[in-house]
Amino acid sequence: MKAVGLVVEYNPFHNGHYYHLQQAQKITGADVTVAVMSGNFTQRGEPTIIDKWSRASVAVANGVDLVIELPLFYAVQPAHRFAAGALRLLAALGVNTVVFGAEHPQWDFQRLVKAEEFFNQESFNNYNATYATQFNQQLAAQTGITLVDPNDILAFAYTKTKMQNRYPFKLLPIKRQGSNYHDNVITGKIASASAIRESLANNDNIYQQAVPPSMATLLTHVKMVPSWHELYPLLRNQLIQAPVSYLQSTYLMAEGLEYRMKEAAQRSLDFAAFMKYTKTKRYTYAHLLRVSLYTLLQINQEAVKKHTQRPYLHVLAFNQRGRQYLHQVKKQVDIPLITKVDQKLRDGLLNLDYRAGKLYQLFTPIEQDLQHPPVIIN
């Protein structure tokens, strides 16, 4: 079977995603569509508005054949690590093509990756600017192009990952349709996920025009949009109680950020105030969210390093075609294929995802990992 791979969050699955899915199937002529999807926390480190099992079910109900979870240690990462993890899993599954949206699909991303070879690495020492800002300054000097839009940044990361690992599949960018990534207003049938989440938080029904009926039905049952405002009391307590020496070992914590976050927690009663106090020109908002999540989960540098070296394929949902494809590739995959999490996996290979799932259960009573079988859509 010929397979096309997608890298997704579906937070939530909307009409733009449906267009992307249809185009991927149409232009590749694939027999099966495989999606690698973030679990219960996004790349930025925010909780998803609906749990991973429900999102995977909607994806399969709308035409995806197989949904695999992107583990936490890949999913909650900057673009280059996020892309590396997602493509590692799609390569293990033997997909023929990876199709992704981009704001500028006409750009020669291989040329942009090669331009990086001529960067002056010693100049990345300006602590008054983020790494992304300094990177774009050098990229613009070499090519006249800057990577600003989120999907273009990911397109660059996918291309670089493929070139470094010499993956055999093709990369195929397509034009992102409708609203811009960060637009917060719904004006038609295709809107950004940000706008849909904003509509849901405002308790209006405008979002329903921008999502398929199956997702609209799910969203009507959302009582509270999960956010860091609910998680902050736990984070604040962790930052106040833990010694600085302990916080220093937290994954992505560096350059004295532990002192700043600890002081911010002691001064700030709500998450908005905490972020305002912690934010500097050196750190993006997304970076601070990721560090906050790893702090709350008490995940250190060594744990992420160990788990990154042991990737796996955790199956969330599939239909009959997805089942057939799993049977086709299961003897060829070079990493564990998991369809049910037992206590051994909970305490070992899937421990970080399990811990993240338990944190997410503050928002839902549904068990997120232990003994949870894949969702089968006929």
Question: Mean pLDDT in each 10-residue stretch from start to end of the chain (378 residues)?
Answer: 97 95 97 98 97 97 98 97 98 98 94 88 71 86 90 96 97 80 75 90 89 94 89 98 96 94 97 95 92 98 95 98 96 94 96 97 93 93
Say if residue 7 carries a ligand binding annotation: yes
To the question of whether residue 184 is assigned a binding role by annotation, the answer is no
Note whether 219 and 349 are same-domain residues: yes
- Within the chain, residue ranges assigned H as helices are 15-28, 52-61, 72-75, 79-92, 109-115, 131-143, 150-165, 193-201, 213-219, 228-241, 244-247, 257-267, 271-278, 285-296, 301-308, 320-329, 343-347, 351-360
- The CA dihedral of 22, 28, 29, 35, to the nearest 10 degrees, is -60
Residue 15 annotated as part of some ligand binding site: yes
20 is in an annotated binding site: yes
39 plus 87 within the same structural domain: yes
| Residues 115, 103 share a domain | no
Whether 101 and 48 share a structural domain: yes
Is the Cβ–Cβ distance between 105 and 351 less than 8 Å? no
Domain span at residue 132 reads: 109-144
List the Cα angle 9/13/15 in 5-degree steps.
130
pTM over 0.85: yes
Structural domain count, the chain: 3
CA–CA separation, 170 and 47 (whole Å) = 31
Whether residue 173 is annotated as binding a ligand: the answer is no
CATH number of the domain to which 24 belongs: 3.40.50.620
Q: State residue 122's pLDDT score.
A: 74
Q: How many residues does this entry show for the chain?
A: 378
Question: Annotation-wise, does 13 bind a ligand?
Answer: yes
Would 221 be classed as within a structural domain? yes
232 CB-near residues (< 8 Å, 6+ apart): 270, 271, 274
14 appears as a binding residue in the annotation: yes
On whether 39 is known to bind a ligand per the annotation, the reply is no
Per-residue pLDDT, 38: 98
Among candidate residues 255, 270, 304, the one where a domain is terminated: 304
88 among annotated binding-site residues = no
* DSSP string across 230-245: HHHHHHHHHHHHS-HH
**Residue 260 within any structural domain of the chain:** yes
